[in-house]
Every structure is written in structure tokens, then in C-alpha cells.
Amino acid sequence: MMERTDRHFRYLARLITRCAMLYTEMVAVPALIHGQAERALWFHPLERPLALQLGGSEPVELAAGSRMAQEAGYDEVNLNVGCPSPRVRDGRFGACLMAEPALVADCVAAMADACDLPVTVKTRLGIDDRGSYDELCDFVGRVAEAGCSAFIVHARKAWLRGLNPKQNRSVPPLRYDTVYRLKRDLPTLEIIVNGGITTVEAARAHLEHVDGAMLGREAYGNPWLLVDVDRQIYGAEDSPPTRGEVLARYLPYVEQQLANGVSLNLVTRHLMGFYQGLPGAKRWRRTLGEGARAGAARADLIREAAELVDDTARAGCA
């Protein structure tokens, strides 16, 4: 989710769902503690509850990043041990750390000692030829003893050699049953399933077996699916917002970002899937895309694009 779940997308997501826990894109902790803290840590108060996801493998650095997360007002700090990107691996971040459970445990212990926030870990079922259930249980058990309060488990292995990051999101088979088994065998741990979840209804079905479900790329590509989260998952009884209401609340935010020197494209790119599946969605995307490429710097472009959506679609969502 790098370059996707930035602060602009998270603000939009929070306008759609009040209850879901939001996560930042992975922030490399060396960059965080060596000069980019203010830019990397800033978020709008509306985004909470919000977790800061860190990438790193040095306990001292991760401890410093965790303290910074608490001071900045985050609600959770998460260590990414699941990203299969070669660039991430070269920095000794992400899924490659599954081969070093003792190091991950040291990192988590340092993070837990440095802050009062819940420390969580996002991981895979295994990597390359290390993918047995016993190895997974050993990894989770050792990291839990170090102070990890919850595991977000992408229900696939990661092949660090032979598959690129895109293939690692689809080629290794989903094994939800393994995540369910992990919860049955380690019932005191909070286990959250991730991977291949495309609807809120599917997330609800997972909750019969585990403690939570994380939506990733589907929520980014089709953010409006989040509108059902508060009612279906959290039992909210108030009426959900309409698309028109969300855009009306997003526009002042966009105007403020433009006033602060943010490029319009950095804000509108997160809106491309806002009308996904509805008549006029293509015109919506084209108008936003062409306006951004032309260097438009006005929030009204979003309103104008929405007016191009088919009247039938807007009548059901505006």
C-alpha cells in the first residue's frame, strides 16, 4: 500500500467510515529518525483511530520510532514483516524478517518498552521454503512473548525469490484455514486476517473465526465499499453518508491542501475509484485525470467531475 494509504486517502476513508482502524503506508524508520519525522508523522486528527506502520530491523531505531508515534498521537504502532518488495528486502525490512524470529522478537520488545501503545505485527504465513505451520507458530509465539498484542496475517506465503511483489499478491494460494487454525491454537492472541478480502460481507464471514479482518487494495480501488463497515461490522445505527455528502466534506480539505502548496493530483488520485461500478465512472476518472495532468489547481474540478456522473447514478448516491 506504499504511496496509497497516505494522509489524503486516509482523510477520505475516514469521511466514509467513522469506526474502522486506519493504517499508514509503511514508513522506513531510518528515514523517520534522520530528518523526515514531521512530514512522515503528520496526520489530521479526524483520521483516528490510526496506526503507524514502521519498516525496520534495528531495535534501537524501532524503539525511537515507537516513541515518536506515541508523541505524535497515534493509537497503535505496527511492524511490517510481510512486504515482499525487493527494495524493502534490500533494506532488511518486511517479509525477509520472517527468517529471523529472534530479531523480530528483539525489535518488538524494544518497541513495547519504548511506548505505551499497542505494538502489532503484520506478517505472512511464511516465506520461500519456510512455510510450515510449526514454523509459523514458532514465529508468532516468540514475537508474542516479546510484547506483540496482535498479528495481522496475510493468508499467503511470500516468495522472495521467483515472484515479484504483484505476483506475491495473487500467485501464492490463500490459506484462510491456516489463519483460523492459528487463532484456535493460540486463542489468547488477537489474530486479524488479511489478503483477498473484497467485500464487507466477506470480512464479516471471517469474523466467525478470527478477531478482525483487514481490507487493503480493494478498499483503495473502491473506497465506497467502506460505507457498509460501520453498520455491518460495528453495529452503528445511524444512516451512512452519501457520496455527495462525503465529497462536500472533502472539498474544504482539498482547498486547504492546495493553499498549503499540495499538488491537486496528490489529492484527486485517491478519488479515481470513488464511483466504481456506476454509470459515468469513466467520465469521472477522465475528468479528474485530465485536469490533474493539465496542472489544474482548484478543488472545483472535483465538483465538476461529479456533475458528469450519470444522473441515475447520482440520484442513488448523491
Active-site residues, by number, are 83
Rounded-to-integer distance, Cα 44 and Cα 10, Å: 9
What are the cell numbers at 60?
534501537
Q: In Å, what is the CA distance from 245 to each residue of 159, 302, 311?
A: 43, 13, 16
What are the cell numbers at 311?
444522473
Residue 142, amino acid: R
Nearest residue to 230 via CA among 241, 219, 220, 221: 241
φ/ψ (deg, to 5) at 250: -80, -30
Rounded-to-integer distance, Cα 226 and Cα 233, Å: 10
Q: Is 158 left (phi over 0), alpha (psi -120 to 50) or beta?
A: beta
Rounded-to-integer distance, Cα 245 and Cα 215, Å: 23
What are the cell numbers at 290?
485530465
Rounded-to-integer distance, Cα 287 and Cα 14, Å: 24
